Structure 1
Amino acid sequence: MGGKLSEVTAQPVDTKPRGTSIDGGLDDALQFEHSLSFWQACKLYPSAIGWSTFVSLGVIMLAFDPQLLGNLYAMPKFQEDFGYLYDGAYIISAPWQTGLSMGNPVGQVVGALVAGYPMERYGRKWTFGVCVALTAGLIFIQFFARSLEVLLAGELLGGLVLGCYAVIAPAYSSEVCPLAIRGILTSYVNLCFVMGQLLANGICAGTSKLTDHWAYSIPFALQWFWCLIIIPGLLWVPESPWWLVRKGRLEEAETVLRRLASEKVNVKQTLAVIVETDRLERELEMGSTYWDCFKGVNLRRTEISIGVYCTQVLSGIYLINYGTYFFQLAGLPTEDAFSMGIGFLAVGFVGTLVSWPLIIRFGRRTIYNSGLFFLIVLQLIIGILDCIPGRPTSVIWAQSSLMLIWNFFYDISIGPVCFVIISEASATRVRSKSIALATAAQGALGCIMTVAIPYMINPDQANMQGKLGFFFGGLAAVCFVWAYFRVPETKGRTYEELDILFERKVPTRAFGDYVIEGGSHEGAFQD
C-alpha cells in the first residue's frame, strides 16, 4: 500500500511565508497524497480521524430516532397506551404509524435543504453546534408525550433538525481528511447509522418488558446522552479548511490544517492543493448555489449523488426501521422478534467494518454494483419462500435469516459506499448543497415508503409479509441498471482530478483507468 512512512514524509517542511506559495509545491503535494497508504495516513492524521468521527456522532442520533419508533410499534406497553384492540391484541393503526414515522424523512427533506445555507455561510462547526442544542431541547417533547398527537409534534420538529446531520457529517469528513482515508471516514457515516439503530434495538429490547410508561420513556431520555457528549466538545472542533479557503481565510485554514495533521506533514502544500482546486472550480464556473448543482457538468455529478442515495431506499432499507415489527408479524414470538432485530443490526455493524478493506482494495463502483446485485437476488428468494403454502415455521426462520444476510450485503456495499460516492462525486464548492439535495431526495422517497410500508405489512391492511421481497427486489433491479451505466470509479482521485474527469466528460466505465497527462493542475481542458 505504499512505501515506508519515513520515505513519504521525509520532505522538507517549508516554513517561509510565500505569497506565491499556492502554486509552489503543488506537484509535490499531489505526489504525497497519492503515495500515502491507509496506515500511513492514519499515523499522520490522527486528529483529523478523531474530529471526523466526533462530528459523525450526530448521525447516531439521526438513526436512533426512527429505529426507536419502529421498535415501539412492537412494544406491548406502548401498544397498550397508544394503540387500540384488534383481533384480541393492541396495535398502533397504520395511519398513526405513518404519521409518527414521517418525522424523520420529512426532516431529511426540509432539514437537509435548510442545512445547506448555514453550512455555507457560518461553516460546518457552528451549524453542527446549533443543531445539537436544538435536538437537546426537542427531546423534551418526546419524553413527556402521553398522546399520539404530542408525540407526533415532537417527531416532526425533531426530524427537521436530525435531517441536518445527514448533510453535515459526510461533508465535514470529506473535507478534513487526506485521500488515503477519505473513503473510510465518509463510509463511517453508515456505521453511525447502524450504531444508532443497533442501540435503539438493544435499549428497547431491554425496556420492553417493563409494565409502566418507562418502557418507552427511558429510550426517549437516552437520546440526551449524545447531546451531553457532543456539546462540551464543540469548543474544540476545527472548522473545515475547505470552507475557510472559500471564505478567503487562508491563515485560519493553515492553522486548522496544522491541528488536523502531524508535524511531519507540509500543511502549506496541502493548503496549496485546496486553493488550487477552489481556483479551478471557479474557473470552471462551478458556482455555490442549489441552482449551480444542476448547471453544466454539475448536473451529472448531482444525478450520481441523488441516484446512489435514493437506491438505498428503493432497495428496501426502510424495512430496517420496522425490523422488529416485521419479524413479529412474520410469526416470531415478541422476545425472538426483538432478538432478531438486534442480530439484524449487529450483522450490519460487522458488515460495515468488513466493507472498509474492500473499499481500500476494490474502490467504489465494483463494490456498489456487486452488492446491489446480491441484494436483488436475496429479496427475490425471500419473496419466493413466502409463496410456499401454509408458510411453515421453517420458512419463517429462513426468511428472517435471509433478511440478516441481506443486511450484511447492504452494509458491505451500497450502505457505506453511498456516503463515499456522494462526497467524492460533488464539486467542493457545491458539496454541502449537493449532499443536501441527495439527502432531500432520499428523504422524499423515504416519505413515500413511510406511508406505504405500514399499509403493506400491517395485518389489518395488505399483510404482504415476505412478498415485500418481490416489491423491493424489482425496484433494486431498476437501480442496478442505472448504477451500471452511471456510477463511476472515484477511488484514488483528488478532488481536482475528479473536477477534470467530469469536465472532460469521461465515460462512466473509463473513469478508473483514465490517465490525466501531466500535472493535474495543468492543462485541465486538454486530452
Structure 2
Amino acid sequence: MSAEDVKEKGQVEHGELVDLKADAKLADYKADAMEAELAEHTMTVMEAVRAYPMACFWAFVMSFTIIMESYDVFLIGNFIALPAFANRFGEFDVANNKFFIVPKWQSALQMAGQLGALIGVFLAGPLTSRIGYRWATLLGLMLMNATIFIMYFANSLPVFFVAQLAEGLPWGIFIANAPAYCSEIVPMRLRAPATQVLQMFWAVGSIIVGAVTFVYNGHPDVNAYKIPIALQWMFPTPLAILLYFAPESPWWLVRHGRHEEAAHSVERLGRKSKLNSGETVALMRRVIELETTVASPTYVELFKDTDLRRTLIVCAVYAGQNLAGNLIANQAVYFFEQAGVSTHLAFALGLITSALQMVFVMLSWGLTTYFGRRTLYLWGTGVNVALLVALGVAGSVAASTASSLAQASLGLIISVLFTFAAAPVSWCIIAETSAIRLRPLTTGIGRASYYIIEIPCIFLGSYMLNPTGGNLGGRCGYVWGATGFICWISAYYFLPEMKGRSYRELDIMFKRRIPARDFKKTEIKVEEDS
C-alpha cells in the first residue's frame, strides 16, 4: 500500500470518527432536551413555583411596567369627565349648563397615546431582538420619565395631544416586551399566570387613577389634574433600578448563541437543587435550532408559510380586545355619566369597577391553567356578547332611574367579566402562539393591530356616547355586541388550544397545519422534531 493510500485511508477514518463524535454529541444534546421537556410536563403548578421562585418575581416586576400605560389610558379617560379639566379646556354646553370636552378632542386625546404606542411597538421588535428585553425596557423607562414632563406642563389640548403621543412610544416597548419576557422565563405550567398578571396590573393602574381622580373630582383648581399627572413619576425610576438587576431571558441568550450566559440566567431564575440548567438550555437549543433559518428574523418572515397563521392569531386576539367590551371598560366613568348617574357616583363606580377587575383577574389564573385558553376565551366572549346586547336593550327603553341604574350595572358587569375571561387569557394566547425566534417581532406587530383597531374605535365610541354626537348611551351595546360576536365566531374556527404544550410541540403542530379544533387531541411524541 502506497503512502498516499495510507494517508487517504487515515483521512477517511478521521472523518468517520469526527462524524461519530458529532452524532454522539447530538444524541446527548437531544437526550438532555427530552429530559428537560418531560420534567416540565410532569411538574405541577406548585412544584413549578417552588422550582422557579425568582422567575415568578421577575415576571411580576416586568409586568409592573404595564401600570404606566394603564394609568395614563384611564387618566385621560377620566380627565374627559373631570369638571376642573373640562372647565379649563372645554366648551360650555348651554343645554346641560356645564363645560365639556368636544368630541373631536375627546377622541384625539384618547387616541394620541395609542398612536405613539403604535410607533413604539414597531420599534420594540428590532430593538429587543438586538439588545434584549432588559436593556430595551430600561431605555423605555428612561424615556417615560422625560415624556411625563411634557404632559405636566401642558397648557392646551394640542400640547396634551403631543404629550400623549410622546408617552406612547415607551408604552409600545413595555407592551411588546412584557408578555414575551414573562412567557420565556417561566416553565410551561406557569405561562398562564405569569402572562395574565399583566391584566392584573392593568387593573391596578386603573385603581390608582380611579382613587386619585375620585379624591380630586370635586376640586375646581388645576391640582385636580396636575397631581394625577405628577404621580406618574412614581413608577419609572424604581422599576428601572429593579430591572437593572434582572436576568436576561435565557431564550433570548440562546437565540444569540450565548449558551453559558443562558445557563447562568436559568440558575438565577430557579433553584439549583430543583433543576438542571444544562438540560434546560438543551431544551431551548433544540427548539431554536428547529426554527432557525439562514436569514435573521424580519417582519416579512411573520407573513410567510406557517408563521402567517401564527401572526394572524396573535393579531386577531389583540384586535378582539377592542371589539368585545374593552372600550366600555376603558371609558367606564364617562359611560356611567352618560348612563345618567351623577359625576361623583360615576367616579365611585369607576373605582369599584377597577377593584373588582383586579380580583377577577386573579381568579382567572386558575381557570386558564386548568380549563385551557380556547375554552375560557370562547365562554368569556360569548357571555360578554349576551350582556352587551342586554345593555343595548336597557338603553332602548324610556329614560328613567331604573333604566339608568340598569345601564350602569350592566356596564360595570361587562367591564369586570371582560377582565375575568377574554382579557387575561388573551395575554397567554399572545405569548404562546408566536415562534420563539420571531417572538419580539410577533408581539410587536400583534399589539400594533390592537392600536390600529383601537384608534378608530375610540372615535366611534366617543361619538356614540357624547351627548352632542350619537348620544346612544347604553344602545352602544348593540354595536359592541355585534363586533364581539364576530370575534367569537373567528375564535371558534381558528383559535387552537395550547394548554400544556411545549414550544416544540406547538412548532410541530403549526408546521403540520393541524386544524385549530384538533390541537387538543393531537399527540406529539417527545422524540419528534417535525
Runs (4+) of structure 1 exceeding 6 A deviation are none
User: Kindly tell me: are residues 286 and 329 of structure 1, through their superposed partners in 2, closer, same or farther at Cα, counting changes over 3 Å?
Assistant: farther
TM-score by length of 1: 0.93
Q: Does 1:199 align with 2:203?
A: no
Match of 1:70 in 2: 77
Report if the CA contact (8 A) 1:183-1:360 is conserved.
yes
Match of 1:439 in 2: 447
Q: Does 1:267 align with 2:277?
A: yes
For the residue of structure 1 that corresponds to 2:30, the secondary structure is coil
Match of 1:115 in 2: 124
Match of 1:34 in 2: 41
Q: Does 1:450 align with 2:458?
A: yes
Counterpart among 315, 327, 330 of residue 339 in structure 2: 330
Deviation at 1:138, TM superposition (A): 0.6
Match of 1:143 in 2: 152
Structural mapping, 1:90-489, within 5 Å: 90-263=99-272, 264-282=274-292, 288-389=297-398, 391-489=399-497
Report if the CA contact (8 A) 2:217-2:344 is conserved.
no
Offset from partner CA, 1:31-86 (integer Å, 9 cap, x none): 10001111111111110011111111111101111100110111111111111111
Match of 2:5 in 1: none
Match of 2:93 in 1: 86
Deviation at 1:199, TM superposition (A): 1.4
Report if the CA contact (8 A) 1:286-1:430 is conserved.
no
Q: Distance in 2 between matches of 1:136 and 1:73?
A: 24
Report if the CA contact (8 A) 2:435-2:507 is conserved.
yes
For the residue of structure 2 that corresponds to 1:85, the secondary structure is strand
Deviation at 1:108, TM superposition (A): 2.7
Deviation at 1:22, TM superposition (A): 3.0
Q: Distance in 2 between matches of 1:158 and 1:468?
A: 29
Offset from partner CA, 1:126-160 (integer Å, 9 cap, x none): 00000000000110111111211221111111112
Report if the CA contact (8 A) 2:33-2:282 is conserved.
yes
Residue type of the alignment partner of 2:404: I
For the residue of structure 2 that corresponds to 1:25, the secondary structure is helix
Residue type of the alignment partner of 1:494: S
Q: Distance in 1 between matches of 2:50 and 2:116?
A: 38
Residue type of the alignment partner of 2:287: T
Offset from partner CA, 1:279-310 (integer Å, 9 cap, x none): 11116x79621111111000111111111111
Residue type of the alignment partner of 2:241: P
Q: Give the number of the structure whose residues are more often helix, by fraction.
A: 2
Report if the CA contact (8 A) 1:258-1:267 is conserved.
yes
Q: Distance in 1 between matches of 2:111 and 2:406?
A: 31
Deviation at 1:395, TM superposition (A): 1.4
Deviation at 1:423, TM superposition (A): 0.8
Q: Does 1:25 align with 2:32?
A: yes
Residue type of the alignment partner of 2:54: S
Residue type of the alignment partner of 2:392: G
Residue type of the alignment partner of 2:70: A
Report if the CA contact (8 A) 2:138-2:244 is conserved.
no
Q: Distance in 1 between matches of 2:25 and 2:156?
A: 64
Residue type of the alignment partner of 1:54: V
For the residue of structure 2 that corresponds to 1:73, the secondary structure is helix
Residue type of the alignment partner of 2:57: G
Counterpart among 510, 515, 526 of residue 523 in structure 2: 515
User: Kindly tell me: are residues 362 and 287 of structure 1, through their superposed partners in 2, closer, same or farther at Cα, counting changes over 3 Å?
Assistant: farther
Pairwise CA RMSD of aligned residues?
1.4
Match of 1:14 in 2: none
Residue type of the alignment partner of 2:114: P
Q: Distance in 2 between matches of 1:107 and 1:432?
A: 18
Offset from partner CA, 1:190-219 (integer Å, 9 cap, x none): 111111122111111112222211110111
Match of 1:3 in 2: none
Report if the CA contact (8 A) 2:34-2:283 is conserved.
no
Deviation at 1:396, TM superposition (A): 1.0
Q: Distance in 2 between matches of 1:50 and 1:120?
A: 23
Q: Distance in 1 between matches of 2:395 and 2:334?
A: 17
Offset from partner CA, 1:469-501 (integer Å, 9 cap, x none): 000000111111110000000000010110011
Deviation at 1:28, TM superposition (A): 1.5
For the residue of structure 2 that corresponds to 1:90, the secondary structure is strand
Deviation at 1:515, TM superposition (A): 0.6
Q: Distance in 1 between matches of 2:33 and 2:333?
A: 53
TM-score by length of 2: 0.93
Match of 1:5 in 2: none
Report if the CA contact (8 A) 1:22-1:271 is conserved.
no
Q: Percent same amino acid among aligned pairs?
A: 34
For the residue of structure 1 that corresponds to 2:92, the secondary structure is strand
Q: Distance in 2 between matches of 1:282 and 1:159?
A: 33
Q: Distance in 2 between matches of 1:211 and 1:224?
A: 23
Q: Distance in 1 between matches of 2:396 and 2:163?
A: 40
For the residue of structure 1 that corresponds to 2:31, the secondary structure is coil
Q: Distance in 2 between matches of 1:320 and 1:160?
A: 23
* Structure 2 runs not aligned, ≥5 long: 1-23
For the residue of structure 2 that corresponds to 1:191, the secondary structure is helix
* Structure 1 runs not aligned, ≥5 long: 1-17
Residue type of the alignment partner of 1:364: R
Q: Distance in 2 between matches of 1:466 and 1:489?
A: 34
Counterpart among 475, 497, 501 of residue 505 in structure 2: 497
Offset from partner CA, 1:10-38 (integer Å, 9 cap, x none): xxxxxxxx976532322211110001111
For the residue of structure 2 that corresponds to 1:252, the secondary structure is helix
Offset from partner CA, 1:346-384 (integer Å, 9 cap, x none): 221121111011011101000000100001000000101
Offset from partner CA, 1:298-325 (integer Å, 9 cap, x none): 0111111111111111113122222111
Residue type of the alignment partner of 1:36: M
Q: Which has the larger radius of gyration?
A: 2
Deviation at 1:511, TM superposition (A): 0.4
Report if the CA contact (8 A) 2:119-2:169 is conserved.
yes
Give the stretch that moved more between structures: 159-168 or 417-426: 159-168
Give the stretch that moved more between structures: 189-198 or 59-68: 189-198
Give the stretch that moved more between structures: 219-228 or 465-474: 219-228
